[in-house]
Every structure is written in C-alpha cells, then in structure tokens.
Chains A and B, each alone.
Chain A
Amino acid sequence: MKIIRVFPILLLFTAFTIHASAQCKGFAKQSCLPELKSYVHDGNYHAAVLVEGEEAELYKTFYADMEYRVAICGADNLPNVEFKILDSNKNVLYNSKDHNYPKTWDFKLESSQQLKLVVKVTNFNQPGDTPSSGCVSIMFGFKVKN
C-alpha cells in the first residue's frame, strides 16, 4: 500500500522536474544573461532546478588572458543563492555570503587555473513549510584582459 501512496508523488515530482527543466533555458536567457553586461557570454548553458538547501558544483578552467564575470541567478521564489569559488586545493577564494549574496563576481587570473564553483540554495528556515524549488543558472562572460 505504501508503494501505491509513494508512486503518485514520484510521478508528480518527475513531471514537475522535466517541465521545470525545460523552463530554465528561458529563465537563464531572460534573467541571467543581462547580468553579464559588457562581458561576452561564452555560449555555454548551465542551469538546473534546485530545491532549498540543495547544492550544485561546477568545474571549469579559467585562463590568464581573460577577465571573467560569473553570474549566478536563482528564480524569484527561491531564497538567496550562495556561491563559493575554490582552487584545486579546496581553498575558498570567494564566498558570496560574505558580500550579502550578490549575483555576480568579476575576476582575472595571473595564471590559468581550474577552479570549482559551489552553488547552494539557502533555506528560508521555516520548519514544516514545503521547500521551494526553482531554476538556478550559472553563466560566464569574458573579455580580453586589459
């Protein structure tokens, strides 16, 4: 009987996930792309539906010849989205939480590095509420270093 009870929830969750995922492209283009402003978007697409408290990780090489802007955007119904940048030795180089959760961070490098980006949807901290879920998009813009 428990199986029968769980099944509709799984079905609904999956249907929601597929539908919501398809909507993240529009969200990324409309809400996140403008955050890159004068930086050229690299054209890559990184977006997913995340639930409160859920994390995503991204690995990317950044090059010494470029200046970068990373933009992290969460759907309006989500609480703050925190992001951290770590080097290959797991040292935290930047944490958006320390800067009141801005959507963007601009940086350049003296030498090329592979960095790790950790994105976390914070919690509203209201026990008993249904956790919110929504699109979170990660976009990179670049320009040649001055």
Chain B
Amino acid sequence: MNKMLTFKSILFTAVIVFLIASITGCGPKDKKSADQQDKIDLASDNLQVLDDIKQAEKIFNSLPSPLESAMLIKSAGARFDKSYLNLVENTSKYVTNKSMALNLGIYTCDLSFASLYDQTEIIINYMNAAKKMADGLNILESIDQEAIERLEENINNTDVIMEIVSETFLNSNSYLEDNDQPAIATIVLVGGWIEGLYIATQLVDMSEFDGNKLVSTIIDQKLSIGILFDLLKDNAGHPSIDELIIQIDGIRKVFEKISLTSGPVRAEVDKATNVTVLKSEVKTDMNLATFKELKETVATIRNSFIN
C-alpha cells in the first residue's frame, strides 16, 4: 500500500511539473504566470483552478518583422547596396541553434531588402540561405520547394515575392511558437531586427546627416528597444537569450542618449478613405557622435552574429 502511495506521489509530482512547464512554455507570455503558479492551491476546488486559468492574460511583444524593417529602409529613400548583406556562402558556418536562428532572421531581412529593390539575381540565393537555416532548426515546411519554385516563376513580380517572403516567415515563427520554442522564435526576430538596423546605419550618407529621413527611421527604433527587451526577458534563463540580453543592453544604452518625446495623440478619421489618422508631434534629437557610437555598436553585434 505504501509503495503504491509513493508511486502515485511520484507520478503526480512528475505530471504537475510537466503541466506547469507546459503552461509557461507555450505561446505568448502569461502575465501572471509566476504568481499564479505559486497561488495554484492543489487543495482548492475545480472551479477555482479553472477560474485562475481563465483570468490569465496574454502579452505579445511585437518587433518590426524583417520585411517591415526592409520596407522602412526603402521608404526612407535609401539605396540598395549588396555589400552590406550577409554572404550566402556563410551558411555552412552556422551549426548551433542560436546561430541558425539569428541568421534565419538576418537572411530573411536581406532577402526582403533584395526583393524590394528588384535584385532578381540574388533573391533565390537568399531564399535558399534562409531555407538552410530553417531546415537546420527542423522547422518543417517553413520554406518548401513549392515556395522556391513560385519565387522563380514570379521573380519579376515584387508583390508576389513579398507575399512569399511574408508567408515563409509566418510559417517559421508560427511553427516555433506552436511547438514550444518561443526562445528560438525570439532569436529569429532579434536577428532580423539587428540586420535591419545594421543596414540602415551603414546606408546613412554622413555628408547629409541633418534632416536625413533614414536617420529619423533609425531614431524611431528607440520606440522598439523596450519591446525587444521585454521579449528577451520573457525568455530569460535560456543561455542564448541571456547572452543576447547583455549584447542588446549595449544598444539600449546608446539609444538612451537619443532624445525622443511625443505630444498627445489624437485620432481623426479621413472620411474619404475611412482611414484613421493618428496625429501627434514628436521631437527628436541625435548628435553625430551618438549616431557613430550606435553605428559601431550595432555593427559589432551584427558581425558577432554572422561570424
């Protein structure tokens, strides 16, 4: 009888540990997860348990995707420069999950950048580089042969190419989120965001620093640094994420030197288009020395990702 009780106790404990790990590991961060686990009283009645779970809130921290980052660079009027992309020949260097995840984000950003500038001769190469990273991470069916063939058939159609890039990125990050790998999904996003920031800072024409639209786009990334940190902290404890937190903190410290203040936001509907316009005034200030420091810090981190 005692043996049976002991066996039941061990089984029960093991299952409870599994349950807690499952609940915390999946999907978006549970706002009350730590507190609630402490509060789950196993002696409480069924309704109480269900009620606790029901009240849990989900939080998503959304970074600009590689496609959005590339679009921001183009809309700021920047030119295309292939020399700033990660070489596709580097794919064989990436053998760890961290390096493959970072470079999946980086190659997806490079692919987006090339696509938006109609660089047809390199688009397929970058899609294949991203596919190698996704395959290495065992992200099944993220970028399949059909996507590559569709890309080849529509190589001169930017709209279709963007649709394919968006779809393959969605396949990758949804696979990782749905298969309990949010840390890897976060690393992919960090890789893409850093690559966008790297390309943008490299492309700024220093002779036209004042009033440069690309500089304004870079300053706007200050708005995302807190989101990025929250995203990383959601997955703190994962060794690769802990390393990234230290690296990204270097960028955060430089962004702290940049001034960005916003006045009140008011919403006005454009009745002709039914599009709401969010009106506000923003004041920003970044001096040349701070920009150079940011450019250097971002380049150091990005180069550590690709080498």
Contacts and interface: CB of A to CB of B under 8 A. Distances in A.
- Is chain B found bound to chain A in the same assembly? yes
Given A43-B65, A45-B173, A50-B58, A113 B165 contact: no
Interface of A: 2-3, 5-7, 9-11, 13-14, 17-18, 21-22, 24-25, 28-29, 40-51, 53-67, 87-89, 91, 93-94, 105-114, 131, 138, 140, 142, 144-145
B174 A45 contact: yes
A34 B280 CA distance: 31
B278 interface: yes
Interface of B: 12, 15-16, 19, 22-23, 26-28, 31, 42-46, 49-50, 53-68, 71-72, 74-76, 108, 162-163, 165-170, 173-175, 177-179, 189, 217, 220-221, 223-224, 226-227, 230, 262, 264-265, 267, 273-282
7 contacts: A14-B22, A43-B166, A45-B173, A50-B58, A56-B60, A65-B75, A140-B62
Contacts of A2: 42-45
Contact of A21 (B26, B74, B224): B26
B59 A61 contact: no
A44 B27 contact: no
A64 B220 CA distance: 9
A113 B223 contact: yes
Contacts of B23: 14, 17
Contact of B224 (A5, A61, A105): A61
Contact of A106 (B44, B177, B275): B275
Contacts of A108: 275-278
A21 B58 CA distance: 13
